[in-house]
Amino acid sequence: MKFKIAAAAIAMTAVIAGSFFMVRSSGKEAITASDNSTTTDWRVPQLEASGISIPESTQTSSLATDAETSDMTSTSSTDKTSQDTSKSNTSLQPGSPTTTRPSSTDTKTTTGNTTRPNQTTDKTVTTTRPTSSNPTTRPPLPTPINQTDGGPVKAPQCGAYWGAYVNSPSRTGGSSAPDKLRALQIVENKSGRTFDLDHQFYRWDDFLGTGSSSYHIDNYIKPTINQGRIPFISWKPVMKNNDNISWASIANGSRDNVIREKARKVKSIGSPVILVFGHEADSRIGAFQPGKTEGGHVKTDAGSAQDFANAYRHVHNVFRAEGVTNVSWAWVMTRAPFTATGERAADNLYPGNEYVDIVGIDPYNFFHGGRNWAEMDDLMQGFTNWNETRKTNKPWMIAEWGSVEDPNQTGRKAQWLRNAADYFESEPRLKYITHFDSYPEYNWKIDTSPSSEAAWREISNRPYFKQAC
């Protein structure tokens, strides 16, 4: 009798255990966010099925860390020296360079009325996630983009990178490396966040310093990386005195000693950067009359559109020969070539898909000299049509943008900024955005009025521009 009772007890235990196992295998498992244990990310099989390879190190996630961190990225614990301190962006492309954005395990604070999703709190949060054995109950994921898009600085899976070029003299009165960093931080403080992208311009003869000097890299590029930004560098083949460098002389190899020197400097940065060669090259075609002098120098055109395309390809090839693998190659023009015919048409200036990772444009609302007030969707129409016709299939960049104030309508620029941000959020191909905070001829600055500054701060802190999924 005792034997029968024991056997029945053993059988009952087995049935209960088996039922528990079946429930765990086919149902949902509860995960407590305050538990310091790790769990395999249930989204890994779905992502791999979409053609995205997830490194083993990212397939488990510590649920005690910042819940804002995307499950498709790995996070470092390096603190930033500014207000927005918990972003990371790790490439998921096998064998490609990895960009790790500094982050923090501190919870985010919200700015204005903007609420960041998935914030952690002091309370224990229980999240129910379906297991990979029951795919029909999974919530939908954003459509994965091609992870090869954008080169080493990968286009973000969700949202877009946000940043600016900040004119240092107009903010600090100086142009040294510390002045530049301080100017950028002034604008970031007004924005309520650290930027993703730090846009800087260099001329042919001052690109990252001359000769063997590493001043610019050590005193500006690396510090901005350490503060959590991705360098976005525009290298113009124009001398400090505004003389054009002949594109033909670049294409035929006559300038290779300079190009190789600059390539080695970019390589020495050791982190992914975005590089635009010949930013707004269309504006250098037919820019000067033959023999015209300025400041004692004879001004000449840079060459034809075909000369530029050849020069772009040659610079790209020299960098590749020097073993440079940390550059995302961007191609950026004004609005004009995308609706032009003849010499300045975009097709003539484009070096080809195999040489370009990112395609870009500089749209501005000038509202000057008889020009009508222009909203961002209208400014982008030619560029959009060209990309769809050309089928570049590249992520988009807005490398410069801005609006002037309307002197007759207070708050019009503020609304323009909000409308532009709405457009950005509606265009999934747009992945890199940097404002032009300068006052060369028109005042594009973010704080031309209290209303425009408030609008800028609001849009800068939208979750979309912090790559929130």
What b/e sequence results for 169-184 when a residue is b if at least 16 CB atoms lie within 10 Å of its CB, and e otherwise? eebbeeeebebbbebb
pLDDT band at 70, cuts 50/70/90? very low
Q: What is the average per-residue pLDDT within 152-176?
A: 95
pLDDT in tens, 365-404: 999 878 999 999 999 999 999 999 999 999 999 999 999 9
Q: What's the pLDDT score for residue 197?
A: 98
Please choose, from the candidates 195, 264, 263, 262, the residue with its C-alpha nearest in 3D space to the C-alpha of residue 224.
195
* % of the chain beyond a pLDDT of 70: 65
Residues in the chain, total: 469
Tokens encoding 405: 């104030």
pLDDT greater at residue 306 or residue 22:
306
Q: What is the average per-residue pLDDT within 423-448?
A: 96
pLDDT in tens, 193-240: 999 999 999 999 888 876 666 778 999 999 999 999 999 999 999 888
Q: What is the DSSP letter of 132?
A: T
Give yes or no for residue 139 having a pLDDT over 60: no
Highest mean pLDDT among 33-47, 117-131, 142-156, 452-466: 452-466
Give yes or no for residue 306 having a pLDDT over 50: yes
pLDDT greater at residue 377 or residue 21:
377
Q: What's the pLDDT score for residue 24?
A: 34
Torsion of CA 261, 263, 267, 268, to 10 degrees: 20
- For residue 2, count other CB atoms closer than 10 A to its CB: 6
Give just the sign of the alpha carbon dihedral 64, 159, 437, 221: positive
pLDDT band at 35, cuts 50/70/90? very low
Beta strands in 311-412 (DSSP E): 327-333, 358-361, 364-365, 396-398, 402-403
d(CA 442, CA 407): 13
pLDDT greater at residue 328 or residue 100:
328
Tokens encoding 351: 């070096």
Q: What's the pLDDT score for residue 299?
A: 61
Q: What is the average per-residue pLDDT within 262-277?
A: 96
Q: What's the pLDDT score for residue 126?
A: 32
Residue 433 C-alpha from the chain's centroid: 7
Tokens encoding 411: 């708050």
Give yes or no for residue 412 having a pLDDT over 90: yes
Q: What's the pLDDT score for residue 206?
A: 84
d(CA 5, CA 1): 6
Q: What is the average per-residue pLDDT within 50-57?
A: 35
Task: Please tell me the CATH superfamily of domain 161-466, with its number.
Answer: Glycosidases (3.20.20.80)
3-state helix, strand, coil in the chain (%, to 5): 35, 15, 50
Highest mean pLDDT among 50-54, 294-298, 321-325: 321-325
Q: What's the pLDDT score for residue 58?
A: 33
pLDDT greater at residue 102 or residue 303:
303
pLDDT band at 327, cuts 50/70/90? very high
* pTM (2 d.p.): 0.69
pLDDT band at 298, cuts 50/70/90? low
At 169, is the secondary structure helix, strand, or coil?
Answer: helix
pLDDT band at 290, cuts 50/70/90? low
pLDDT band at 184, cuts 50/70/90? very high
Give yes or no for residue 84 having a pLDDT over 60: no
Residue position matching structure tokens 């940043």: 163
Q: Kindly report which listed range (38-47, 192-201, 294-303, 456-465) carries the lowest average pLDDT score.
A: 38-47
Distances 447 to 170, 266, 453 between C-alpha atoms, Å: 12, 33, 4
Q: What's the pLDDT score for residue 40?
A: 31
Q: Kindly report which listed range (71-75, 175-179, 371-375, 396-400) carries the lowest average pLDDT score.
A: 71-75
Residue-range domain boundaries for the chain: 26-137, 161-466
Q: What's the pLDDT score for residue 165?
A: 98
Q: What is the average per-residue pLDDT within 8-23?
A: 42
Half-sphere exposure of 234 (CA within 13 A, CB side): 25
Contact indicator for 375, 419 with CB cutoff of 8 Å: yes
Q: Which residues pair with 244 in a beta bridge?
A: 238
Residue 39's H or E segment, with its range, is: strand 38-40
Q: What is the average per-residue pLDDT within 242-252?
A: 91
Q: What is the average per-residue pLDDT within 324-346?
A: 96
Contact indicator for 84, 78 with CB cutoff of 8 Å: no
Tokens encoding 246: 């002949």
Mean pLDDT rounded to a whole number for the chain: 75
Tokens encoding 265: 């400097």
d(CA 44, CA 40): 8
d(CA 386, CA 149): 18
Q: What's the pLDDT score for residue 291?
A: 56
d(CA 280, CA 405): 24
- For residue 379, count other CB atoms closer than 10 A to its CB: 21
Q: What's the pLDDT score for residue 53?
A: 37
d(CA 101, CA 197): 11
